[in-house]
Amino acid sequence: MKTYEDLAGDGGSNIVDQVVSQREKLRGRLDKIKHKISIMSGKGGVGKSSMTANIAGCLADRGFKVGILDADLNGPSMCQLLGIDNKEKLNIDKEGVDPSIGALDIKVMSMDSLLPSPDSPVMWTDDGASAVWVSTMECTALRELLADTNWGELDYLLIDMPPGSDRIDNIRDLIPELEGVVEVTIPSALSQHIVSKSITKNNNLGVKIIGLIENMASYICPHCDEEGALFEGDDVKELSEKKEIPFIGRIPFDPRISKKSQSGKLFFNDFKDSITGKAISQAVDNILKSIPNT
């Protein structure tokens, strides 16, 4: 048995070379992707993943090459939202793993495609693992999903973050050239309270906030396309003014968004000319305006 005294240098693990080669691999992938944007929220269930999928749909519809990294490792939903059969085996070769291809040719890498069955949870380790250990493993998994995926040339990579603001420091470290984050909230006071923490954290980390989207802002009747009030809540625009970040979109509650996703179809693909489709397009215009050279 070796003791610490017996170990010379790195003990034969060649750890420095391993780290350097991992970094080079990650850099090689990221250099082929022009713009990287994270989509975040405070609370879960506010429509962050639906917005990610439909913003990606809008970008793809405009002719851009788009990929999505489903960084919501414990609650992945991108396969469902983009109509990807997660029972299909991913193609793996010596270069890495090919992403799944969803609606509008959007490339997706999601934990969902790596799990043994659609209802399998992610099991990081045996029960009782400490939060620090789980966090370390989640960070490693994110690095591998980014670096081992054959993304190819992309115009945009959207990163659908888990709810809350826990993983943004990892993403910022892995992708220092990140364009910034889009924050999503619904009008409820609770959602705004929690998203404001996420905004503060990004400000403290020096991560640029591209802007705030208010989702489920009003109700669109699926029969007549008329718009009406849905929630009573503080004005989300006021929150953006208070936090000094751009207010970039007001997306109505539209039952067709969830209906489409249940059948594995992308809302934007079929309804880009509806009031909601146009609101998503408007948000995308604002996102593009904030990114140089687009």
Closest CB to ligand ADP among 33 and 251?
251
CA 206 from chain centre, in angstroms, equals 19
Residue 120, phi then psi, degrees to nearest 5? -75, 130
Minimum CB–partner distance for residue 294 and ligand ADP (Å): 25
Q: Which of 223, 232, 225, 213 is nearest to 283 (CA)?
A: 213
80 and 87 in contact (C-beta within 8 Å)?
no
Minimum CB–partner distance for residue 12 and ligand ADP (Å): 45
47 and 215 in contact (C-beta within 8 Å)?
yes
Closest CB to ligand ADP among 50 and 202?
50
Tokens, residue 114:
């790596």
Minimum CB–partner distance for residue 257 and ligand ADP (Å): 4
Single-letter amino acid, residue 10: D
Minimum CB–partner distance for residue 92 and ligand ADP (Å): 28
Widest CA span in the chain = 77
Closest CB to ligand ADP among 48 and 65?
48
Q: Which of 114, 33, 35, 133 is nearest to 76 (CA)?
A: 114
Closest CB to ligand ADP among 247 and 253?
253
Alpha-carbon gap, residue 198 to 195, rounded angstroms = 5
Closest CB to ligand ADP among 217 and 239?
217
Tokens, residue 119:
């209802």
Closest CB to ligand ADP among 28 and 45?
45
Binding site for ligand ADP (CB under 6 A): 41, 44-50, 77, 215-216, 251, 253-255, 257-258, 261
Q: Which of 238, 249, 92, 64 is nearest to 154 (CA)?
A: 64
